[in-house]
Amino acid sequence: MQNRRWWDAAVIAASLMVIVALVVGSSGASSAARAVAGSALVLFGLSYLLVARPALTSPRPWHFPVYVAVAAVALAGGCAGEPFFAVLQAIAYPLTWVLAAGRRRAIAGSIVIALGTFTGFALFSGILDGGDAVVPALAIAGAVAGFGLAFAIAFGLWIASVVDYGEERARLVGELTAAQAEVEALSRDRGAAMERERLARDVHDTLAQTLAGLTILSERAGRQLGEGRTDAAADSIRTVERLSRDALDEARSIVSRMAAVPSDAALGDAVDRLVSRFRVEVGLTIDLDLQLDSAGVLPRESQLVLLRCLQESLANVRKHARATRVHVRVSAAPDGGAQLAVADDGRGFDVAARRDGFGLEGMAERVGLAGGELEVSSTPGGGTTLVVRLPATPAGQVVAR
């Protein structure tokens, strides 16, 4: 409550009421007593104008004690001449609490104001007359000053508790804002980490696999040249050239997916190209079954998950399975659901055994982020079957990468 205009209005209103009381003279006080009260009113006004008012915006250490002392003297003189002067307690007490630096100083200042009021009423009630008038005078002065002091302290403590509560809430809001900013920063970091993981999966599932195939074909071409089989080596080199272009396309595709509006080829064409490339690279018999004719528009992210899982599955067959035949089936439903199944007749492995590498783990994470399921069934010597199931995707929903 530091608005000086409100205080100015309050002081002026209370002073006008005292002036009216002095002019009317309802208490029956003598002209001399009313003159003393008028002088006290001027003193009270000067204490506000010269001390309290500047302290509202630019407090100094001496403002509070000087104001309390002058206001107490003014109340003592004013109440001694005109009891209605006590109405200025409504200004003196709140200003004391506003100017005080702490509750103890405010209570001490209120006691000083109450002593001034007590003295004024005691003088007005005839304490100086002695005799039987002393006790009633003390009782009246004590009642008026005590009631004002009790109300001022109770109300001041309540207001102070409200202010403390507001400050505590402001502190908590500040801490909450800082915590929200920290959570936002952590979310950005987490998003960046997930994007790096996704990019690592893309590089592993595309460029790394293609480069591995280039390595195999280059070694084959070298052996063929060493054996004098130049025609076969030329075929291998032509395949290397084609795969190099594919690697360049894959790199451009990764870059394009970083753009705001990426674009991929149709799923069926992409799967067909991928299977054809592995047939050439590894010499496997790969049976492809595409069931996409009755499907609706399959979300681009679902297409990406299926394509990357197929690429990783064929790469695992090439590196580990020692298979001679692979069956690939890709199907999609009109509601956006899709399924990929890759089965080979290779040596298989123990699914429960601990595995090294990033392939199946990265594939499982990619499928999980898309809300799908990855199922791998295999037995040593009995081949391996991998099935990826992606759920139906409501229109407009973006599937996580």
Quote the pLDDT of residue 401: 38
The residue among 330 and 246 whose pLDDT is bigger is 330
In percent, how much of the chain has pLDDT > 70?
85
Is residue 173 domain-shared with residue 278, that is, in the same domain? no
Is residue 276 domain-shared with residue 397, that is, in the same domain? yes
Residue that terminates a domain, selected from 139, 155, 177? 177
Residue that terminates a domain, selected from 129, 146, 177? 177
Q: What's the average model confidence in pLDDT over 52-76?
A: 89
**Total domain count for the chain?**
2
Helical (H) or strand (E) element with 385: strand 384-390
Quote the pLDDT of residue 205: 67
Quote the pLDDT of residue 70: 92
Quote the pLDDT of residue 312: 85
Residue 398 lies in a domain: yes
> Does the structure show a pLDDT above 90 at 389?
yes
Quote the pLDDT of residue 287: 92
Per-residue pLDDT of 247-296, as tens digits, reads 776 776 565 455 433 344 467 888 888 888 888 777 788 999 988 765 55
Is residue 271 domain-shared with residue 172, that is, in the same domain? no
User: What one-character-per-residue DSSP string does 244-302 give?
Assistant: HHHHHHHHHHHHHHTSSS-----HHHHHHHHHHHHHHHH--EEEEEEE-TT-----HHH
DSSP code of 400?
P
Between CA 286 and CA 278 the distance in angstroms is 8
Is residue 167 domain-shared with residue 281, that is, in the same domain? no
Residue 249 lies in a domain: no
Residue 19 lies in a domain: yes
Quote the pLDDT of residue 252: 60
Quote the pLDDT of residue 128: 55
Angle among Cα 57, 59, 61 to the nearest 5 degrees reads 175
Q: What's the average model confidence in pLDDT over 147-172?
A: 85
> Does the structure show a pLDDT above 50 at 334?
yes
Quote the pLDDT of residue 133: 58
Quote the pLDDT of residue 343: 93
Residue 320 lies in a domain: yes
HEC-encoded secondary structure of 194-233: HHHHHHHHHHHHHHHHHHHHHHHHHHHHHHHHHCCCHHHH
Per-residue pLDDT of 82-133, as tens digits, reads 888 888 988 899 989 888 888 888 999 999 998 988 888 887 776 655 555 5
Per-residue pLDDT of 337-362, as tens digits, reads 889 999 999 888 888 776 655 577 87
Per-residue pLDDT of 356-384, as tens digits, reads 555 778 788 888 888 899 999 988 888 89
Mean pLDDT for the chain overall: 80
pTM: 0.45
* Domain hosting residue 142, numbered range: 4-177
77 within 8 A of 120, measured Cβ to Cβ: yes
Q: What's the average model confidence in pLDDT over 179-194?
A: 78
Q: What's the average model confidence in pLDDT over 52-62?
A: 87
Between CA 138 and CA 80 the distance in angstroms is 13
Q: Determine the distance from the C-alpha atom of residue 243 to the mean position of all C-alpha atoms in its chain, rounded to a whole number.
A: 48
pLDDT-derived band at 26 (thresholds 50, 70, 90) equals low
Q: Name residue 286's beta-bridge partners.
A: 326
Between CA 90 and CA 79 the distance in angstroms is 14
